[in-house]
Every structure is written in structure tokens, then in C-alpha cells.
Amino acid sequence: MLVIEQLVKRRGGRTVLDRVGFAARPGRVTAFLGPNGAGKSSTLRILLGLDRADGGRALVDGRPYRSLRDPLRAVGSMLEGSGAHRSRTARNHLAWVARSNAIPSRRIDEVLHQVGLAGEARVRAGRYSLGMGQRLGLAAALLGEPPALVLDEPVNGLDPDGMRLVRGLLRGHADGGGTVLLSSHLMSEVAGVADDLVIIDAGRVVAAGTLTEVTAGHESLEDAFFALIGGNGETR
């Protein structure tokens, strides 16, 4: 379970996260929704130990990410696309990632197949398309067979085929008892796969609950989303 509690983050005098709190539970796909700049990536970066919070905490099964031993076996993550150096091939990138967390190297081929990159395993990441980069990022996230997945805008730039693949993958992961937390600014991509929603706007959580709860009284998720962020937190 991923738990975010009262997170506060300030950057240059601006409060980018204002007491953000929610949980992503096992067996469910939790979508973290909000417009660009609302604080989605900032929250995920703190959860993954990349950035420090000015207040509050983020825990993975009760522990801060930075204290995890072989963290990729607990949480698979994708931020900033492929996360590979441009001169590396997919295989080379996954090889050092696997070694860093003592993940058996057979997993490299397995995940390359899983995300449909087996044919491009020897292409350098700098020559990848946006969608291929996303697939490589996803492959790295799956490498350690982690119970939890944290993905920042995972369907961004994917072709319809890729989107379907990702949705299937995330659904399968949650149905197998895993935890999935994904962020997105695109409603339509999320509506089909999410069980729970957390909506953030201007650094504050404006709604959280199951898909049905959050969309109650609205025609669609999109309507609910705009009604919620339009009120800037007042409609909660």
C-alpha cells in the first residue's frame, strides 16, 4: 500500500503541494488526476525519494522509499519517459538497472517482450519515439516484479496499440493483487482502467474516492473533473 500524508512542498516561495494526502491500495488501480502543474509529478517524486518534502510523509508499506532495500523489487516506477541515457540500447539500460537491485538478468528479455520492445532491444534510446521511450520506461518499472507500480503519465505519447497494452498490463497487475498508482492529465485514458480516483488541483487534493463516488452527479469523468477543478477545491 502506498500512503501519502499531509505532503507539503515549496519551491522558491511557492507552495506546490499543500497538505496532499491519499492512499493507493492493493488490488486497485488508483488514478491521480489533475491539470499540468497541479502537483502530480511533485507528489510522485517525493514518494519515490527523488525530492524531499517540506512537510508530511510518503510511505511504501509503512516505510519511506529511501529506506527500502532493493527498492525496484517493491516499487516499479516510471517518470520522465524512458529514463535511459540516449546512447544506451534498451537491453543495456535494463541490464544495469537489473544488476543494481540484484534482479536476475532473464527478466530483461521477459519485460522487453511484455512491453513489445523485443524487436527494438538493440536500438539506442536517443533514437526511440515517444511511445517506444514510454514502453522502455514501463519495462524498467516491471523488471523487479514489484507489488506496486508508480507511473507518471504512462500513456502519454503511446499509440492506440500501446495504450491498450498499458491498460491491460495495469488491470492485470491490480487484479493479481498488486497496487497501481498512475498519474494523468487525460481523463478519457483513465476512465476505462481506474478503480479509484484522486483529483489534485493547484497543489491540493480536491476529490478522492472510487470512480463511482467521484463521478456521482456528473455525466462523465470529464464533467466531474472540470466541475471539481473549476471550483478550485471549494466544491469538495
Q: Compute the distance between CA of residue 117 and CA of residue 174 in angstroms, rounded to an integer.
A: 23
Question: What does DSSP say about strands 2-11 and 55-60: parallel, antiparallel, or unpaired?
Answer: antiparallel
Sole binder of another protein in the list 30, 43, 134, 215 (CB under 8 A): 134
| CB-based contacts of 14, cutoff 8 Å, min separation 6 | none
Sole binder of another protein in the list 3, 130, 202, 227 (CB under 8 A): 130
Find the shortest distance in angstroms from Cβ 177 to another protein.
Answer: 22
Confirm or reject binding of residue 43 to another protein (CB under 8 A).
Answer: no
Interface region with another protein, contact rule CB under 8 A, candidates 24-32, 133-141, 195-203, 204-212: 133-141
At residue 209, what is the residue type?
G
Q: Compute the distance between CA of residue 44 and CA of residue 138 in angstroms, rounded to an integer.
A: 15
| CB-based contacts of 99, cutoff 8 Å, min separation 6 | 105
Nearer to another protein, 24 or 75 (CB): 75
Site string (109-128) toward another protein, x via CB under 8 A: ----------------xxxx
Find the shortest distance in angstroms from Cβ 226 to another protein.
Answer: 27
Interface region with another protein, contact rule CB under 8 A, candidates 23-31, 78-86, 173-181, 215-223: 78-86
Confirm or reject binding of residue 8 to another protein (CB under 8 A).
Answer: no
Residue 126 is given by DSSP the state: G
Sole binder of another protein in the list 38, 72, 148, 221 (CB under 8 A): 72
The residues facing 63 across adjacent strands are: 60
Nearer to another protein, 48 or 214 (CB): 48
Residue 163 CA from chain centroid, whole number: 14
Confirm or reject binding of residue 82 to another protein (CB under 8 A).
Answer: yes
Confirm or reject binding of residue 90 to another protein (CB under 8 A).
Answer: no
- What are the phi and psi torsion angles at 121 (to 5°)? -65, -20
Find the shortest distance in angstroms from Cβ 83 to another protein.
Answer: 4
Sole binder of another protein in the list 16, 20, 31, 48 (CB under 8 A): 48
Confirm or reject binding of residue 68 to another protein (CB under 8 A).
Answer: yes
Residue 122 is given by DSSP the state: T
The residues facing 140 across adjacent strands are: none
Contact 31, 214 (CB under 8 A): no
| CB-based contacts of 190, cutoff 8 Å, min separation 6 | 31, 33, 182, 184, 197, 221
Question: Is 87 strand, coil or helix?
Answer: coil
Name the site residues for another protein (rule: CB under 8 A): 45, 48-52, 65-66, 68-72, 75, 77, 79-88, 92-93, 95-97, 99-102, 125-130, 132-134, 137, 140, 156-157
